[in-house]
Amino acid sequence: MVAYDDLLEQERGPQQAQAFWEDPRFAKWGKLDMGKPSKLDPRPEDNYSEVDSIESDSPPRAVPTRRNPSRQASADNKVSAKTGSFESSDDEDDGGNVSRKRKSRATSTRQTRQTRSRAQPSRSYHGDSSSADELSQLPRQDDDEDDDDGDAYMPVISDVKPTKKSSARKRKRPGRLPRKNDRGSSIEFEPTRRSGRTNRTSKSMRDPELDDEYEMADEKATTAPNNGRSTFVYCQGCSNTYHKQCIGTRSQRDHRVTKVAADEFVLQCKYCIGSYQKKDNRAPNYAACQVCKGNGLSCAEFSPRKTPKQEEKIRIENNNEDPITGVNPDLINNADNVLFRCSTCRRGYHFDHLPPLAKTPIVTEDIKQDRLDEYSTTDWKCKDCLNAQWTIHALVAWRPINQGDYSKNWTCLDYDEDSVEYLVKWDAKSHFHDDWMPGSWVFGVAHPAMRKSFYKRKENDLAKMNAKQAMQEEWLLHDVLFEVTYRRKPKNPGELTREQELSRIHDISSAYVKFQGLGYDEAVWDEPPPRDGDWGNEPWKAFRAAYEEYVNGQFFPTVSDHKMKERITQYRSLDFSKECELKQQPLTLQRGKLMEYQMEGVNWLLYNFHQQQNVILADEMGLGKTVQIVAFITALVHDKPNCWPFLIVVPNSTCPNWRRELKQWAPDLRVVAYHGGKAAQDLAYRYELYPDGPKGGMKAHVVIMSYEAATNAGNTFKSVKWTGLIVDEGQRLKNEDGLLYKALWDMKIPCRILLTGTPLQNNKRELFNLLQFIDPTHNAEELDIKYLELTKENLPELHDLIRPYFLRRTKAQVLKFLPPMGQIILPVTMTILQERLCRGIMSRNSELIKTVLSNRKLKSSKRGGLNNILSDLRQCLCHPFCFDPRVEDRTLTQADMHATLVSASAKLMLLNIMLPKLHERGHRVLIFSQYLRSLDILEDLLSNIGLQHARIDGNMSGQTKQKRIDAFNAPDSPLFAMLLSTRAGGVGINLATADTVIICDPDFNPHQDIQALSRAHRIGQKNKVLCFQLTTKSSVEEKIMQIGRKKMALDHALIESMDAADDTGGDVASALKHAAQALFGDNAKEKITYDDAAVDKLLDRSEVESTNPGDEEFTENQFSFARVWANDDLVDNADADADNTEPNIRRSLRPRNGNTVVVLDEGGHK
């Protein structure tokens, strides 16, 4: 009997085997399972030669494995180099013979497939590459060392079976050494690569008589089971363990591998060798024990880190082998040297210094073993990580661990993480559960972005020694309860009265709550606060008020739309003066008493609601438009006609303030704020507005929406029949093509009221758009055409048109008791650096500037270039570093950097003198600027001169803004200054605790600057107010102020009955033209300087009086009549007349206190 494999080795053996399978006498053998069944039909014999010939030209492919391919030759392991080759191994190593025999097989009449038994090849690596892994040279215990061992496991593997493709085969592999034919060479090669294409028959051709009862079929070489991972490598310094393949290559890993003997390498992990401290000097010392602070004995680096080139050079010098590093044998593989390392925070401990986990630990003589047994069952986590049941939500504050070493004004960046601890707010937990955690623990657990964000916040610079200093009290005061759970269920839950439901407050086990001062996205489930806890009884009072509001929502009356409409119709049928007009303040208005002019405003609103006419409440800023609206809504909800709901649309930053004002003045109103992100809006919708679902009706008298929420709320609230709409800062609707304008228009709310202190800002069309919004019978486009030019004849007609829709009062008219406000324009001249930079900006765009100077018409595509030039010039006038930060030399000392910062800008030179003097005199300052970079520089100035400050800009959330406003307005606040961007900080903010306003750069829209003034000069102000407008002489800023005065004149023409022409455009070009003539003209420039004596006189408030007192109709024009400060001599800043410049608008007045003042006025108006 001849074995099947031996038959295949004989001459014409394959052909005889094929004839055997085709003989019908032996057909029964074809039914036997001869290996893995094949779904392919046998190919015609004529196809064998063609396929074999094609495949012989394809490149060899290595057998795929999960590890790096070995370099052991297939000839040494009896693996055929090519599928379908039947020659001996010696012949396979001869490239010429292999090629010749392949050609002979291509012409043979029949071909067969071969199945061989082969052992798994052992795997070894050479360290000849800079990216090779020296640990991979360690011998594997599970490799077959002797291929001829009869007891070795020899799986049967088909050479014909195509190798299963994997993504690993597509990855780029490193180049390999060329294959050699010397079988005696000590260099090992990987198996020859082979094709994986399934283009041959896969029928088994083994002798069935040689088969066992059970046959093992495997698609590839079998290795020891390791779940796709390599062997473990242990760190010498700590308990960390890594898969060999996970430590990375030489050039990429942070761990340290050292050769300590021939073929013996040891690992030290990146935590032991201090990799983090090398990158960040504040990083904790992971090589030290957290208790005794002593370093692990085997944590010191055994060998220094080398670059790949250095390692390659050393290996070349050492006969292509890694050199052996001399290491004390006591430091290698010594369990006594190993630190416990937490698998989460990565901190280290000596095993005998680990705190016991059990409350009553069992003490034995071997503490190390006890702790090892205890912590090995906790996923190798330290006690702090085990006790931290939640993830970190935010870092609240920091403090030094050793508070006795704290130095005043030191920040957390002055300490390393081992020396500080942080107050941590946990995710899904309230601030009642905040804990102080070590900085080293936070460093390993918190996301780096969270820590960086914490360091950037100014309020976190100084240490807070306890939780009461660190947390704001309002964070512990309940604001809104979305849902509550009780310990016991009532017998008849649906039959409880409101009073019975309120009495169940002591039975509450937990509540889903939003806290004051925090956003809806920070709502959590929490238990009720104690009545007298560490924070007093204020949290309990707030919780009780929030629960009462929650119960009010449960018992909110549901009134059908039809019934509500009947109530309003009946109300409008009443005689207003006898039955509807308010004779006194509504009883439900509880916070304070309305002034007489405010009561008049409320009745004016009620009258227009009664007459079904929409209006604009245009009182000057600071006169209490908000409280008038609260009284108006309260009267309609609680008195006649008892109707709701009302929609109030406000800027996102003022949503919390509006809700607070409504609840303080009218606590019986149910008010819901609908703003923020999608999650916040969903919470308000599900739990506050519709707790019983949409079919249960809206449970609110008033809904406060942000502009963004109102823009997208059309579908959500399309079924709501709103009683009235109030839009705060109504000038936002000046563009009829805006998204907000269209969204509110589509709501078709019958009663529309706009609140604005600046009804007209730029041109008449904006005013006509507002009229069109409140009264659709007017067409804004037609009105704009009709009143294209204002004349003495059509102006009274326009007044008659808009008068019924407006109620406009000024502070000078109604607030006789308000302290006076003095407004002073402070001109400065450019520094040499500013002048050079401005010239460079102009020269860089010389063609555009020539076009402007020549009065030629500019193409629309070039207008964007003018805006860029203007913006660059304005930033340079604020400060050169604002225009180009690269101008600043950051290699200087702190004192020299401050001196350079101040001397580079004329405005900063003045502020450097003014601000310390204002602080010494007990004044508090608001500083406004158009540019965020300018605010950054002002922050540096205040920090350098040691003045505490806060900041508000458009990049902050409304919640953050409100926190900083409250901190500034708090009694005995240490904050001296508030920095604000003009657009974000000039609207809807009350900062009446400040008595000085500094505007660093003028706005094209003068109403923005006026709004900035009104942040301080409003109801609640007790001191005289000084407002300083800084402007650079002979620059674009000077022209911007002139343009602003023309816009204010238009405002007076339409709103205040003063005649003036409309500004038809060209603001940017006009400003650039003015600047170019000033910069490149031949006129001598007079330098303006301010010294201590001049500033002392400037800040004297003994004779401060309101601008142009006694002429009430002009008082709100602010800087149109501001005094201009001039040093030394009288300056008559006359502007040229006619085409190029403005009329003469400045007249000199009698000097006061030895100084000269100049009053600005529009031509012809005193």
The confidence band for 1165, taking pLDDT boundaries of 50, 70 and 90, is very low
Length of the chain: 1166
Count: domains in the chain:
6
- Spatial separation of the C-alpha atoms in residues 888 and 979, rounded to whole Å: 22
Domain termination residue (choose one: 554, 581, 611): 554
Position 1112 confidence tier, pLDDT thresholds 50, 70, 90: very low
Verify that 446 and 536 share a domain, yes or no.
Answer: no
Task: Please tell me whether residues 450 and 505 are part of one structural domain.
Answer: no
Q: Is position 260 within any domain?
A: yes
Higher pLDDT, 780 or 56: 780
Q: What is the pLDDT of residue 865?
A: 62
Whether 439 and 569 map to the same domain: the answer is no
Mean pLDDT, residues 641-659: 93
Residue 510, domain extent: 474-554
Per-residue model confidence (pLDDT) at position 116: 32
pLDDT at 1069 exceeding the cut of 80: no
Q: 1077 and 1062 in one domain?
A: yes
Q: Are residues 114 and 218 in the same domain?
A: yes
Contact 652, 707 (CB under 8 A): yes
Mean pLDDT over 1111-1134 rounds to: 46
- Alpha-carbon distance of 19 to 917, in angstroms, equals 112
| Average pLDDT for 1025-1031 | 89
Per-residue pLDDT averaged across 889-911, rounded?
86
CATH of residue 942: 3.40.50.300
Q: How far apart are alpha carbons 475 and 535 in whole angstroms?
A: 11
C-alpha distances out from residue 407 to 410, 457, 893, Å: 6, 20, 22
State the pLDDT confidence band at 894, using cuts at 50, 70 and 90. Answer: confident
Burial of 572 (0-12, 13-18, 19+ CB in 10 A): middle
Task: Based on the fold, state whether residues 1007 and 869 are members of the same structural domain.
Answer: yes
Residues 330, 348, single domain; the answer is yes
State how far the Cα of 879 lies from the Cα of 882, in Å rounded to an integer.
5
Do 575 and 670 belong to one domain? yes
Q: What is the pLDDT of residue 647?
A: 98
Residue 367: C-alpha distances to residues 343, 372, 380, 796, 1089 (Å): 21, 8, 17, 97, 77
Is 1052 part of any domain? yes
- 344-362 residue pLDDT tens: 999 999 999 999 998 887 7
Q: Do 632 and 712 reside in the same domain of the chain?
A: yes
Report if residue 801 sits inside a domain. Answer: yes
pLDDT of residue 487: 93
**CA quadruple 771, 772, 773, 775: dihedral positive or negative?**
positive
Asked whether residue 211 is assigned to any structural domain, the reply reads yes
Residues 455 and 461: their CA atoms lie apart, in Å, by 7
Q: Find, among 252, 248, 343, 348, the residue nearest to 298 by Cα.
A: 348
Q: Are 270 and 337 part of one and the same domain?
A: yes
Q: Is the pLDDT at 255 greater than 50, yes or no?
A: yes
What pLDDT does residue 753 have? 97
Q: Looking at residues 661-676, what average pLDDT do you find? A: 94
The predicted-structure confidence for 555-600, as pLDDT tens digits, reads as follows 999 999 999 999 999 999 999 999 999 999 998 898 889 999 999 9
- Per-residue pLDDT of 29-45, as tens digits, reads 554 444 434 443 444 44
Q: In the chain, pLDDT over 90 holds for what percent of residues?
A: 40
**In-domain check, residue 218:** yes
> Would you place residue 1001 in the very low, low, confident or very high pLDDT band (cuts 50, 70, 90)?
confident
Do 1010 and 621 touch, CB atoms closer than 8 A?
A: yes
CA distance 1164 to 1112: 17
Range name among 918-932, 1031-1045, 1080-1094 with the lowest pLDDT average: 1080-1094
Residues 625 and 704 occupy one common structural domain: yes
Region 907-929 average pLDDT: 93
Say which residue, 49 or 252, is predicted with more confidence.
Answer: 252
Residue 122 CA to its chain's centroid (Å): 53
Q: What is the mean pLDDT of residues 202-222?
A: 49
> Could you tell me if residue 182 is inside a domain?
no
Residue 3: predicted pLDDT: 65
CATH code for position 403: 2.40.50.40
Look at residues 517, 533, 554 and tell me which one is the last residue of a structural domain: 554
Q: Of 431, 461, 491, which residue constitutes the final position of a domain? A: 461
Instruction: Please tell me whether residues 109 and 94 are part of one structural domain.
Output: yes
Nearest CA-CA partner of 512 in 478, 473, 539: 478
> What is the per-residue pLDDT for 483?
95
Assess if residue 363 is contained within a domain: no
In a domain, 668, yes or no: yes
